[in-house]
Every structure is written in C-alpha cells, then in structure tokens.
Amino acid sequence: MIEQSLFLIKPNAVAEGHVGEIITMLEKVGFKIKAMRMFRFDKELSALFYKDHLDKEFYPRLERFMCSGDTIAMVLEKENAIHDLRELIGDVIPEKRKAGTIRALYGNGITDNGAHASDSAKSALREISILFGDNK
C-alpha cells in the first residue's frame, strides 16, 4: 500500500552538511519527496510536535537540541513507507544501529541522532499536519 511518512533531517545532520547524502539514500530506495521545507523549531513548535514526550526526563535536552539549528522536513511517499523508512533510519540507541542506516552514518548520539521518521500512519498524519498543514 502506498503510504506517506514525515521525515526530519535533524539539526546536527543539517549543520554537518549531510542533507544531500541523506536525500540520495532516500531516493535510491524509492522514496518520492512530496513536500520539503527547511525551518527551525522554537519552544512552542517543539512542545506541539513532541507532546507525547513533554513529561519525560529527556524532553528539555530534546527541545534544546531541536531548537539549536535548522531542520529539513519532508513528506515521503512509497509502498510501505512507514516501515521502510524506520528500517532505513535505524535504531535510536547507537549500539543497536545497523551499519549503513542513516542514524549509524549521521547520528552523533541518542538525541542528536540525525533523523526522525513517523512511527505509524496515525503519527504520520499528525506530524505532517503540524509541519505542512494542507500544503503537502
């Protein structure tokens, strides 16, 4: 089934100049970019986007990091997009990342892991709506 997913290239990967390499990885495995924008999270947008994490101990660190620089957001589309994108980005925990995944190649730690991808169809709809509204 054709699906859409939100994908973020996080501030560390943008600042380190990996945007082109990451987009190439996505396109090589069949993802189509349906929308793309560069922006910077502020505290309000971070709180809205990461609302499920607001009460977790790591949230202040996540907010600081996500507000620290530019982020690239994309709406990606392909067959089984959500599952395939989660496989391509790799695990959030550095020791569990498979070689060749986006996070293994461009992540620096747990928070500054280089990328985000929607974890479900419901999350994708919510996240795309927050960052793109009806303009996707």
Q: Which residues lie across from 1 on neighbouring strands?
A: none
Q: Which residues lie across from 2 on neighbouring strands?
A: 79
Catalytic member of 18, 53, 83, 116: 116
SS3 labels along the chain: CEEEEEEEECHHHHHCCCHHHHHHHHHHCCCEEEEEEEEECCHHHHHHHCHHHCCCCCHHHHHHHHCCCEEEEEEEEEECHHHHHHHHHCCCCHHHCCCCCHHHHHCCCCCCCCEEECCCHHHHHHHHHHHHCCCC
Catalytic, 18? Answer no
Q: Give the active site residues.
A: 116
